[in-house]
Structure 1
Amino acid sequence: MRLPSLIIGVLLGVTAIPAPSAAAVRSQPGCGRVTAAAVAGYADSTMPQRLSRDRVPGAVMSVVSGGRTQFARGYGFADVARHTPMDPQRSLVRIASITKLFTWAAVMQQVEAGRLDLNADVNRYLTGFRVPATFPAPVTLGALLSHTAGFEDRVIGTGARTAGDVPPLADELAAAMPARVRPPGEITAYSNYGAALAGYVVAQVSGEPWDRYVQRHLLDPLGMAHSTATEPVPPALAGDLARSYDSDAEPPAPIPFTFDTLSPDGAISASAADMAKFMTAHLDGGRGILSPDTTALMHARSFGADPRLGGYAHGFMDRVMNGHRVLMHDGSWEGFQSALVLVPGCDLGLFVSANGTNGVDTVSAVVDGFMGRFAPPTGAADPTGAPVAGVGGTSPAVAQPGFYAPTRRAATTVERLTTLLGEFRLTVAGDGTVHFKGRTWIPQGDGVYRRDDGKDHLMFRSGPGSARYVATDGPAYELLGSAEEPLVNAAVVLAVLGLGLSAVAVPLAAGWRRLRPRGPVLAARWRVSRALAATAALLAVAFLVGLTVTLTTGTGDFLYAVPTSFRVLLTLPLVMLALAAVALAGTVTGWRGSGARVASRIHQVVLLAVPAGLTWFLWQWNLLGWQFG
């Protein structure tokens, strides 16, 4: 999940802003005046309508400025069945990936203490397992913080239904390490595994489990007494844990608590009031958790494909909204959708969380409206200038049409198939305008393209070898080869289905011959080969039908483990290949003297082409065998 991301220019580190004692904070140039009444007026007029429109049971929101909490309020229900209202002081929401900001802060604490080096090979701090040396350059903590380590993505097995199903973090990291698919520092590819690995490194050098470290060194010093990094939530807080809901159900249905097997990437549950304390610390030079110098370092840009685009600031998403530099992060887990937004130039922080699956729309609308009110557009022009080499390992490139997929995707496991579901076609018009992801991107000169609503920017980048990317203020996308394009794969699948269904003609013809024994007598080898080829073709059809059903109805269970039904489904192609191999051998050796007519011979070749076509598709998407990683 990502909130709308916007322009980024060449940005400097952030300095701490002294906190005035007045409840009403004097507005900075270009910033709105922040008062409890003003924020309440906005939130009260916006949140209830959005919750109703988006079918979300409840939400919480907190706003900080001037070194204090200016506003904290709950809306709707934390628990619908118990009619428990959302309470900003007590209701714990699962902040999901915003947890990473605590993990990154923990890393920066250890950097400050001299125990960690952001530029060192992460293997220096690991025991029991190591990150393989797939590329000459090692994976560093700095690469983990900027999501440029080059790991592929994975989802299977990252959730658990019970605490007993959660392995020790070290075991999970060792057993489920994703493959390194690109050199570190080349381009961003958001990685939950990378964050979990960084959290484990903190545990290694500190001698404390990650959740205990966060409690003792971050939550406790900030007085975040109604927050926890532990799963399950401790009994003293469990009664205040909000529930999340499936907004598409009628009525919205509660979603069971889901454990995170990579806890440093998303396990924290916190109240909105506590999150206000975390935001205040960051806006006040790290008070209570980091030194001002370390905070300034953490807030400084650490990676960007180009300085004119959004990037990362040591774990924070580094963006520009309405002309203001913004440090932010979002999170999505179960049905919770959350966002944390800091506007250092306005001494302003916003946290908002909704407990329904449609809450992504709620949160996005609330953030956009809040920024428009309290950090309004400055009128600053888009960043322009001569193309420059970005912090990363790419260089400017010409616009290239084709199909692009997010860099955050699987490459070596069965999850690679999800690439087909997340591809976007990019076209370039004669006037240079780019059409991508359903939007129009207008050239601004010097390789920068602005989205038609002004809320995002795009650049074409070239990596080592043949890698070609589209970098935006948010995610990056990679140009796919022709074999990965959806039209090519759709054509292959449709051909397999159409030709495979013709296999029913074989038993029908055999039955007809038995009823009316006319024509040439077919050799036994030919009859057996025909039957085997027809069976193999029908198995191909059955597999594709089963795969379609799985992708459209049964993907939820993959979060916990590979379902047995999918493991069984993957046996069909292996049986198909065995039958097809025998059928091919029998066809070749029995071609002469088979007694078959020309039509039957042609049809036999067609049937043998069916498993061949499906085999190409299976090989392309790692579906031959059980490639689960």
Structure 2
Amino acid sequence: MNKRQVLITLITLLGLIQTNFSQELNTSSSDLKSWIDKQFLTARDSLNIPGSTFALVHKDSIVYIQGYGLADIENKMSVSDSTTLFRIASISKTFVGVSIMQLYEDGKLTLDEDVNTYLKSMQLDYHYEPPITIRHLLTHTAGIDESNLENRVRTKEELISLGAYLDKKLPPQIRPPGEAISYNNFGYALLGLIVEDISGLTFDEYVRINILEPLEMNFTSFKEYIFDDELYAKSYTLKNNELVAYPKGYVLQYPAGSIMSNAKEMSNYMSMFLNHGAYKNQKLLDSLTLVKQLSQAFKHYEKAQNGWLLGFYEGHWKGLRIVQHAGDIDGFASLLMLIPEKDIAVFLSVNSSSIKDLTNRNFVNQFTDKLLAKLFPTIAKNENSKETPKKGRVSKPLKAFEGVYRPTRYAQSTLDKVALFIGIRPDIKISVKNDRLLINGDEEELIPISNLSFYAINQEKYTSFKQNDYGNIAYYFLDNQAYHKVSWHSTLRFQITMIVSILVVFILFILGTMIRRLFLNKKEVHLVGKLNLSIAILSFLFVFIFGYSLMTTDPNEFLYGLPFIVKASLILPLLIIILTAISLIAIFRAIREKKSRFWWFNYLVTIGALFFIVWLSFWNLIGFNY
């Protein structure tokens, strides 16, 4: 075969590959655009989502881009795909990842060095070894606690610098780095501060100069509400079947979740990833650096299908690898999705949700799943059901895995730990049945495979447990989700039983005291009785105020600060501790002097007060932990 024949053959093969690719990637189908339109218009009418925006990109070309519905119901402003700015929340973290990788490429940082090497504004206090690294922060494995209280403000005048905010509010480290994934906004705020300390620019300035301007993203910004009001989409929540607008807010840990953008400019951003770090004539990242960023950087166990990347997380759809990041804030739900294998990227954002039902996030997830089936019909038709592996033998008795497990992402050092009571991070219960483990009765079955590895039948995935240094099971992992095992006294069932029992004792004591005074003519009351009556009343009052505020206040409001009545009520635990200490002294003195002529129920109330203090301490309600 001569050179001419070889060339003709190669061109023919390339043509066939391109033809097959076009057939597999159904972007030219005449009904695709109308199908996409129908999905968003249906969501507008049936799910109370007034506005949305969408972009589908192939390499450096926009396949389809469109805005739907209203950005502002009150002023009847329509969504424009090229101008209307949506709050895309945690998609901000992908920009943090690009910023860090640019500094890495320039030799200004390494991924596995102690972050204190690069921090000039502050230094981290380590409670565990080894030190926290850039990689730990990027993969949410630094072990830093969660806290959502007071991380936003209402006005620009209340904004403070990133360094000042972190110096004031950064939670402590609660687990060794590299042990488990626990999604954490503070980690990405710290990365933003590292960018500031290395570059000498504020984080938003660095991103504008080094990412946004080269990508012609002139209206995208980490600075919130800096353009004319008509450019910004409002977001809404459904209350009593009526859409109510969220007020403006400003994120203090802003690198983690404050960026605002439109579909057109996000298309430029996605094209950069699909074109090996380049956009038009601008090179933002070297192709090798980009490969490193989009490669798996951490996974919990060997057979985990999905892990965390450097600024993104991993997913799979019928065997197709997806690089993605979602964002949720104040009724907005957004998604950026890259499919490097197919040179395809998708961005969408919607501006309304029911807090209770999460209608916006559910719509986004269902829409993208259907969209992938439309784009890749051949892959969608493939029966991808996996064969269940044979049952094996694990390294511990199945009883060792039983217990209650809780998602790692919740506050443990501040009083927003009480959000567990409203189900913000629901526990799961793992029990043994015959030769396997069951989750929550029968929601999932885990078949033992080997070591600490199991196979989840319903999800068709390998899963794993992890033990601590003492050989006890400490974690349950499912891909990039992590649950830590909860001790019996930390379970919600025990904690609720404990506080209810204490309050019953207090209420009975209050009623008993009233009956003794009113009907039994017991006018003379010992000092211990007076103290315990005060303790019982104050305890009941505190639980009522705190519980009522928790149940009746929009959870979003706690992001801006605690209601005044809640802050004021935090004085009551301190009074209860003082009164309990005095009551104990009075009891011991009376016993020593053999003058313990007070009602026997006083002993029970004092014991109840001690348990109440323990309960308050567990939920970080002693002092002003917010």
TM tier, shorter chain?
0.7 to 0.9
- Secondary structure of 1:155's aligned partner: coil
Aligned position for 1:426: 430
Residue 263 of structure 2 aligns to which amino acid in structure 1? Answer: A
410-419 or 142-151, which deviates more: 410-419
Aligned equivalents of 1:438, 1:355: Cα separation in 2: 36
Task: Check if 1:314 corresponds to 2:310.
Answer: yes
1:386, distance to aligned residue in structure 2 (A): 12
Residues 346 and 79 of structure 1: CA distance in aligned 2, closer, same or farther (over 3 Å):
same
| CA-CA distance at 1:331 after TM superposition | 0.5
Q: Quick one: structure 1 residues 31 and 442, their matched pair in 2 at CA, closer, same or farther if it must change by over 3 Å?
A: farther
1:60-114 Cα deviation digits (max 9, x unpaired): 1111114311011112211111111222111110010001101110110111111
Offset of residue 307 of structure 1: 3.7
* Alignment-derived partner of residue 372 in structure 1: 373
- 1:228 is paired with a residue of what secondary structure? coil
Q: Distance in 1 between matches of 2:26 and 2:396?
A: 40
Q: Which consecutive residues of structure 1, in runs of 5 or more, have no partner in the other structure? A: 1-21, 388-394
Distance 1:164 1:452, change over 3 A: same
Structure 1 pair 67–438 and aligned structure 2 pair: CA distance change class (3 A): farther
The one-letter code sitting in structure 2 at the alignment partner of 1:334 is D
CA distance in 2, matches of 1:463, 1:264: 33
Partner residue, 2:514: 507
Q: Which amino acid aligns with 2:477?
A: A
Contact 2:542 2:569 in 1 (8 A): yes
Equivalent residues in 2 for 1:193-592, closer than 5 Å? 193-235=186-228, 238-288=229-279, 289-309=284-304, 310-357=306-353, 358-375=359-376, 376-377=379-380, 378-380=382-384, 382=386, 400-420=401-421, 421=423, 422=425, 423-436=427-440, 439-443=443-447, 445-446=449-450, 447-450=453-456, 452=458, 454=460, 458-465=463-470, 466=472, 468-502=474-508, 503-514=510-521, 527-554=526-553, 555-590=555-590, 592=594
The alignment partner of 1:157 has SS state of coil
Q: Which amino acid aligns with 1:550?
A: S
Which amino acid in 2 is paired with 1:497? L
Q: Which residue of the partner structure matches residue 44 of structure 1?
A: 37
Q: Structure 2 CA distance, aligned partners of 1:581 and 1:474?
A: 47
Aligned match of 1:112 in 99, 105, 115?
A: 105
User: Residues 436 and 445 of structure 2 are in contact (CA less than 8 Å); yes or no, is this contact kept in structure 1?
Assistant: no
Q: Give a deviation string over 1:445-497, Cα, whole Å, max 9, x none.
A: 4424336255x663222244456111123421111111111111111111012
Using the aligned pairs only, state the percent identity: 24
Q: Which moved more, 1:62-71 or 1:148-157?
A: 62-71
Partners of 2:233 and 2:294 lie apart in 1 by 31
- Runs (5+) with no aligned partner, structure 2: 1-14, 354-358
Q: How far has the Cα of 1:350 moved from its partner?
A: 1.0
Q: Which is further off, 460-469 or 161-170? A: 460-469
Normalised to the residue count of structure 1, the TM-score between the two structures is: 0.87
The answer (yes or no) to whether the contact 1:397–1:462 under 8 Å persists in 2 is no
TM-fit CA distance, 1:27? 5.7
1:52-67 correspondence to structure 2 within 5 Å: 52-67=45-60
Once the two structures are superposed, residues 397-432 of structure 1 have per-residue CA deviations (whole angstroms, 9 ceiling, x without a partner) of: 967122111111222221233345322223333241
- Per the alignment, in what secondary structure is the counterpart of residue 338 of structure 1? strand
Determine which of 29, 43, 67 is the counterpart of 1:74. 67
| Equivalent position amino acid for 1:492 in 2 | M
Match of 2:49, SS state, is: coil
TM-score normalised over the length of structure 2: 0.87
Native 8 Å contact 2:428 2:440 kept in 1: yes
Whether contact under 8 Å (1:444, 1:450) holds in the other structure is no
Contact 1:149 1:185 in 2 (8 A): yes
**RMSD of Structure 2 on Structure 1 (CA):** 2.8
Aligned partner letter, 2:201: E
- The DSSP-based 3-state class of the residue aligned with 1:443 is strand
Stretch moving more, 84-93 or 538-547? 538-547
Q: How far did 1:292 drift? A: 0.8
- Give CA deviations for 1:6-36 in whole Å, capped at 9, x if unaligned: xxxxxxxxxxxxxxxx9x9856499542237
Query: Following TM superposition, by how much is the alpha carbon of 1:276 offset from its aligned partner in structure 2, in angstroms?
Result: 1.4
| C-alpha contact 2:300 2:480 (8 A) present in aligned 1 | no
Contact preservation (8 Å) 1:396, 1:461: no
* Structure with larger RCO (C-alpha < 8 A, sep 6+): 1
Q: Paired residue for 1:35?
A: 28
Measure, in 1, the Cα distance between the counterparts of 2:397 and 2:347: 38
Which residues in structure 2 correspond to 1:148-167 (within 5 Å)? 148-167=141-160
- CA distance in 1 between counterparts of 2:597 and 2:619 reads 40
SS in 2 for 1:64: strand
Structure 1 residues 159 and 386: CA distance shift in structure 2, 3 A: farther
My pick for the range that moved more, 431-440 or 316-325, is 431-440
Q: Distance in 2 between matches of 1:218 and 1:385?
A: 46
TM-superposed deviation, 1:169: 0.8
| C-alpha spacing 1:200/1:512, structure 2 compared with 1 (3 Å) | same
The offset of 1:606, in angstroms, is 2.1
Distance in 2 (alpha carbons) for counterparts of 1:379 and 1:108: 38
> One-letter code of the match for 2:463?
L
Question: Alpha-carbon deviation of 1:609?
Answer: 2.5
Q: CA deviation at 1:533?
A: 0.9
Residue 168 of structure 2 corresponds to 175
Alignment check: 8 A CA contact 2:431 2:441 kept: no
Evaluate the alpha carbon distance shift between residue 385 and residue 165 of structure 1 in structure 2; reply closer, same or farther with a 3 A threshold: farther
Q: CA deviation at 1:538?
A: 2.0
Change (3 A) 1:37 1:94: farther
**2:484 is aligned with what amino acid?**
E
- 554-563 vs 346-355, greater mean Cα deviation: 554-563
SS at match of 1:311: coil
Shift of 1:202: 1.3
